[in-house]
Amino acid sequence: MKRENMIWSERKRNALGLPWTFTVYGLAEDRLFVKSGVLTVHEDEVRLYRILDLTLSRSLWQRMLGLGTIHVVSSDKTLKNFDITNIRRSADVMEQISELVEKERDRKRVASREFMGGGYDDDGQDDDGYDDDLNQ
């Protein structure tokens, strides 16, 4: 993670709200980084256009300490779904990530498609009760 390209960077905080952990999150204009470890350092990134959904959760303890956790759902092969845990100003950070995701999706001309219904039952019929197999 190069500091000069970072829009936001913060260390994960422990249960007391202190930044005494070895996980650092970073946000650039096109990527979200997660770096963890002490002796063996593991650094991963997800391209912002691959982020599909963001959810914010704040337990009572987190609210008392001014912290929150952002759950990220992505289509990235290695990170998949992950949490940005115990960070300050979590609602502001989530909004910032969301805006950058939309901006990057527009820039890359990436469109997501959501499918409503269309699922199949155990008997091979779709939700409307009709079998759509044309070979029968």
Collapsing DSSP to helix, strand or coil, 118 comes out as coil
Instruction: State the fold for domain 4-106.
Output: PH-domain like (2.30.29)
pLDDT in tens, 64-98: 999 999 999 999 998 889 999 999 999 999 999 99
pTM above threshold 0.75: yes
Domain layout of the chain by residue ranges: 4-106
Compare 21 and 125 and report the one with higher pLDDT: 21
pLDDT at 111 (0 to 100): 76
Task: Report how far residue 47's alpha carbon sits from residue 26's, in angstroms, rounded to the nearest whole number.
Answer: 12
Strand-pairing partners, residue 10, are 25
- The enclosing H or E element of 134 equals none
Say if residue 114's pLDDT is above 50.
Answer: yes
- Euclidean distance between the first and final Cα of the chain, in Å? 56
Whether the per-residue pLDDT at 116 is higher than 80: the answer is no
Tokens of 132: 């759509």
Instruction: Report d(CA 23, CA 58) in Å as an integer.
Output: 19
CA 19 to chain centre: 21
Please report the pLDDT score of residue 133 as a whole number. 47
Report the C-alpha gap between 24 and 82 in whole angstroms. 14
